[in-house]
Every structure is written in C-alpha cells, then in structure tokens.
Chain A
C-alpha cells in the first residue's frame, strides 16, 4: 500500500465522507449557533414589540385621560365663570341695597330735621304768643290804672306796638 494517494485519485468513500462532513458541520452550526442566536433574537424582538405595544397602550390611556381632564377643565372654567357672575350679581344687589338703605336713612334724617325745625318753629311762635300775651296784660294793667281817652287809647296802642317791634 502506497503511503500517499495519487494526486488526482477519485475515491467513492472519500466523496461520501466529504459530503457527510459537510452535512454534519451544517447540523452543528444549525443546532449550536443559528438556533440559539435566532431564539435569542426572536425573544428580543418579542420584548421590543411588547414594549412598543405597552407604550402605545399607555399613550392611548394618556390621551383618554387628557380628553377627560380637558372636559373637566372646561366644566371648571364654566363653573368659575358662573361663580364670578353670581358674585358680581350679589355685589350689585348688595350695592343697590346699601344705596337704598342709605337713601332711606337719609330721608328719615331729613324728616326728623324737618320735624325738629317745625317743633322749634312752633315753640318760637308759642314763646312769641306768650310774650304778646304779657304785653297785652301789661297794657291792660296800665289801662286799668288811668282813664282811657281816645288819645290815650291810641297812645297805648302805639306804645304797645313799638315795644313789640323793639322785642
């Protein structure tokens, strides 16, 4: 047996072994390289997909919340406007009431003042009457003391009238 094969020596079993070697190596790289790496890549892709799915769901929920809160905000704005409107109306009414009250008090004061003036006026007239009465009495006393002639009568009357003016 030669130690070496011929340079070109086609051998059936060597060809079969060569095919077998290639098939075995294919099986090895498929099982120990491609399969585990593809499994891990698929798992990663799944995780990324899940992440995006969760993100989309969160976004949808956030948009829903936004819509809800926008509605609530709008309602709150409306309510605030109503409150302000109501407060303005209340303030107007209070102002009106205060003005009316002030007017009423003022009228009462005016009436009271007028009443006081009337009272004082009446008192003055009464005082005047009393003084006139005193004068008349004085005059009557003087008339009684002397005989009243026509001249005396005129004189007394004039004197009385002068005194009255003097008072």
Chain B
C-alpha cells in the first residue's frame, strides 16, 4: 500500500505564481455562487410568486438574524461577509465529494481567510479604543505581559486557520488511509481469484461512504459554522459592542 499525502496540484504558472487546482476550484465555487445569486434574485416581486424568491428571502433573513443575534443589530452589514465565508468554506469542503481536492485542505486558503478576519479585528479594536488605546491594551494589566498579549493576538488567526485545516486534512488523510487499507484487504482476499475478479475492490464499497458522511458533510459544515461564529465573536469583542 503506497499512500502519499501531498499539497495541491499545480496546473500552470502565471507571472511567476503557481496556479493550483485549489484556486481553480475556488473560482469555480465563486462562479457557481454568482450564478445561483442571479437565479435566486431574478424577477423579485413585492408579493413573492416564485419559490426561489422565498428561498432567497429565507437565506438573507436567516443570515441577518444570525449575525444580528450573535454580534448586534448594528453589525448586520457584516451579513454578506459571513454568508460568503460560510458558503465558500462549506462548498470548498464539500467539493471533496466530487473527488476534488478541497480548498479548505490547503493551509494558504485558510490563512488568507483568518488573516482577513484578523485585520478586521485590529481595525475594530483601533476604532473602538483609538490607536493609542490599542497599543496600550498590549501592556495591560502590566507591561511585562506585552509579549504574551501580542502572542495571544497572533494566535487568533493561526488557531482559526489550523483548526479548520486540521479538521479537513485529518478527514482527507483518514479517508485515504481507510480507502488504501480496504483496497489492500480486497487484494488479499480476492487476489487469488482468476482474471478480473481479483481486481474488484469489493471492500471499498460502503465504509468509505460512511466516513465521507462524517468528514465531508458533517465535519465540513460544522467547521464552516465554527469559523463564522468565531469570526463574529472576535469582531464583536474587538468592537466592544453591547447587544
């Protein structure tokens, strides 16, 4: 059994930048979401007649309610960002169901998202405390703790990125290991049979699907939700807003 866990496959090089399958899948997801948005919002009417309008209204109001209840009503303008994050994360992870390498199994993708969230956190901290207050907050409660406070802040994007990355990659690795082991088992059991019968990977049926339900469906959606919830909570804490 030879299982190799690698990074993303490089498709081509554009101006010195490697374009991998991760980027292509991400752009495809963006395009699909764009088409879905256009389809959902086609011919909107004050009195809804189409089911797709009801679905669009349900999605928008649900996300706004979630953001409003988690952050505050004043932060409802964050809803598109949270929705985009949730959709991109979920669909990226779910792309593994179609045998693609999920963009969420690439650390660069998750670092990009978490750095963006981190920049927002810093922006709202400076906005609520002022630049001086923000710098001073690192020296509290005593100046000796400044390095720890800086580390604590830097840990936010790192922990967010690695939590998501770890969960998705662990699923991919475990699934690959189980898949490989089942292939070996099939070869051991059926290998002595003549002809094509010895090549049927009979044991690969069933169990990988069950693992896929957990790692690709449940864990993917759960991690997307956790990432969004953490984003909202960190930004709310940074903005220091009352509910």
Which A residues lie at the B interface, using CB under 8 A? Answer: 1-11, 13-19, 21-26, 28-30, 32-34, 36-41, 43-44, 47
Contacts and interface: CB of A to CB of B under 8 A. Distances in A.
A108 B45 CA distance: 97
Contacts of B84: 22, 25-26, 28-29
A26 B80 contact: yes
Interface of B: 5-10, 13, 17-18, 20, 22-23, 26-27, 29-30, 33-34, 37-38, 40-41, 44-47, 53, 56-57, 59-61, 79-81, 83-85, 87-88, 103, 106-113, 115-116
A14 B23 contact: yes
6 residue pairs, one from A and one from B, having the closest CB atoms: A18-B112, A5-B7, A14-B108, A30-B80, A32-B37, A4-B6
B107 A8 contact: yes
Contact of B112 (A8, A15, A32): A15
Give the secondary structure class of B's interface.
helix
Contacts of B61: 41
Contacts of B37: 28-29, 32-33
Nearest to A23: B116
Contacts of A11: 18, 108
Contact of B33 (A18, A25, A38): A25
A94 B87 CA distance: 98
B88 A21 contact: yes
